[in-house]
Amino acid sequence: MLASTEKTPLTIFREMKLFIIVWVGQLIASIGSSITAFALDVWVYEHTGSVTQFAFITLANTLPLILLAPIAGLLVDRWDRRWTMILSDLFATLATVAIGILFIIGRLEVWHIYLANTFSAIFVAFQIPAFIASISLLVPKQHLGRANGMLSLMNGTARLLAPPLGGILLGMISLQGIIVLHLTSVFLGIAILLLLRFPKASTPAVAIEGSSFLKETTYGLTYLVARPGLLGVLIISAFSIFLVGGVQVITIPLVLSFAPVTVLGTILSLFGVAVLVGGLLIGIWGGLQRNMNMIYGCMLLTGVSLLVAGLQPSVVVFIFGVFLFFLIRPIIASSTQAIFQSKVEPLVQGRVFSIKGAIEAAGLPLGYIAIAPLAEVFEPLMATDGFLAGSIGQIIGVGTGRGMGLLFIIMGIFTISATCIAYFFPRLRLVEDELPDVVDGVAIAIPNPDIATDKSSSNNDAVPLIS
């Protein structure tokens, strides 16, 4: 059954109006930030010629999100989320201003960009969970799928537009002009937030009796461990991102084994289109009423898409398989996020979502680290005179790139198998039935996860998180 099929587009717009206004402001800011990030990436590569130093930018952008997740989540739950977003955006722009000044006076160096990206990422670590945790207050439960689809659409749009626009603008207005554009877009997003008021959760502040700062900062992880269904959903989400990292790290060498570099550029652009279409699809459709059914089905399709992509050294076959892979990814992200938003109490969402974001963020580099070495192992096995040339090679072909093709197939088979096994875990399959809905600030008494599973404790020992 489709979610909210009886409602007209106008009714849906009215119910999501506040979120849509916030989304538009964040979309504008995201596009400006992505164009600046692209321009700085180009500047670093042009001035160093080093892929390694280029890769350090990704590390500078990612590491603070992982390391600060527990503290950021705790503070997001204690602070006003709208003001957290405003101040995070504002302070993050200070690094961009510094880069612009250094560039104008001719003193900009590569290490300045690493430092600036790290500084900005510190505040992004607060902005992201504050925004995501606000969605369940801005959007009725039946529209969470649409809202999360719009988030994927926002990210896909920014990533798709940044390279072509960044390339054009670099030639027209140079780096300092792009920085001015970036600041303008961010301040527009901030202005929209200043004009709005977010609904407040109807529950009082969360308190964990006798808790230490360490216990509160690790509360998000403790919360998930006490709810194995939610933890299982997070593992699936992180695994899907792990697969994205694996696909990205071997796509370029695999495609170049059977197609010219001009075709590679087209293929990479199509994958950006796939993410955009997937986000648009789930944003309009809203998904199924049971998000777990959507997740299971999409993970099975993910496995099939990877299997197909590795079957033959064919541009058409590869595009079909990996386009489907990236098309599905926003749907999985939207469905997993909708479950978390509808099952996690609004006043602890900052802590839980920060841990969730950190674990998911780690999936991408883990995919790079794990899959790239395996490609080096499989390539010799599938060479013309390789160990597997006379067996599997008779089916999928031999030579350059076939080892990576086999790796795609193995990833696909593993994904299908793991999804089928996961279906038989009742805590995961029934997570939407077993955990109560807590959207719109509904007060649910939840015991302290430290003792929630301790059957020997009396009822008086259970400390309500939300009363």
Of residues 189 and 455, the one with the higher pLDDT is 189
Taking the alpha carbons at both ends of the chain, their separation in whole angstroms is: 34
pLDDT in tens, 341-395: 899 988 888 889 889 988 998 888 888 888 888 888 999 999 999 999 999 999 9
Question: Is 49 in the same domain as 193?
Answer: yes
Local confidence band at 74 (pLDDT 50, 70, 90 cut-offs): confident
Let me know: does 232 contact 171? Beta carbons within 8 Å. no
Q: Which of 337, 321, 234, 320 is nearest to 282 (CA)?
A: 337
As a whole number of angstroms, the distance between CA 30 and CA 36 comes to 10
pLDDT at position 100 is 93
Claim to verify: residue 214 and residue 176 sit in the same structural domain: no
Q: What is the CATH number of the domain that holds 234?
A: 1.20.1250
**Residues 288 and 363 both lie in one domain:** yes
- CA angle (465, 205, 208) in 5-degree steps: 40
Which tokens is 227 given? 């709810």
Judged by DSSP in three states, 2 sits in strand
Considering the domain architecture, whether residues 245 and 336 belong to the same structural domain is answered as yes
The answer to whether 191 touches 42, Cβ cutoff 8 Å, is no
pLDDT over 90 at 225, yes or no: yes
312 and 397 in contact (C-beta within 8 Å)?
Answer: yes
**194 plus 225 within the same structural domain:** no
Cα–Cα–Cα angle for 200, 206, 209, rounded to 5 degrees: 165
Domain boundary among 182, 200, 218: 200
User: Where a domain ends, among 168, 200, 232?
Assistant: 200
Span 133-151, average pLDDT: 86
CA distances (Å), 84 to each of 129, 180, 330, 376, in order? 10, 23, 26, 45
Q: 63: buried, middle or exposed (CB in 10 Å: 19+, 13-18, 0-12)?
A: middle
Give the C-alpha separation, 245 to 365, whole Å: 6
Q: Do 161 and 225 belong together in one domain? A: no
- Phi and psi torsions of 449, nearest 5°: -60, -20
Out of 156-165, 247-256, 395-404, the most confident range is: 395-404
CB atoms within 10 A of CB 437: 12
Claim to verify: residue 189 and residue 316 sit in the same structural domain: no
163-179 per-position pLDDT tens digit: 788 888 888 888 899 99
Q: Which range is least confidently modeled, 180-184, 228-232, 270-274, 385-389? A: 270-274
pLDDT at 131 over 50: yes
- Give the end of a domain, one of 154, 177, 200: 200
Q: Which residues pair with 212 in a beta bridge?
A: none
Statement to judge: residues 192 and 218 lie in one domain: no
Q: Are residues 110 and 33 in the same domain?
A: yes
Greatest Cα-to-Cα distance within the chain, rounded to the nearest angstrom: 71
Q: Hey, what are 459's tokens?
A: 């009822």
- Which residue type is seen at 351? R
Say if residue 251 is in the same domain as residue 332: yes
pLDDT of 212 higher than 70: no
Say how far apart CA 152 and CA 190 lie, in whole Å: 21
Tally of domains in the chain: 2
| pLDDT at residue 54, as a whole number | 63
Based on the fold, state whether residues 283 and 191 are members of the same structural domain.
Answer: no
Domain residues for 251? 209-467
Give the DSSP per-residue string, 101-145: HHHHTT---HHHHHHHHHHHHHHHHHHHHHHHHHHHHHS-GGGHH
Token pair listed for 303: 């496995």
CATH at residue 49? 1.20.1250.20
What whole-number distance in Å separates Cα of residue 226 and Cα of residue 82? 29
The vertex-36 CA angle with 184 and 330, nearest 5°, equals: 100
Same domain, 278 and 377: yes
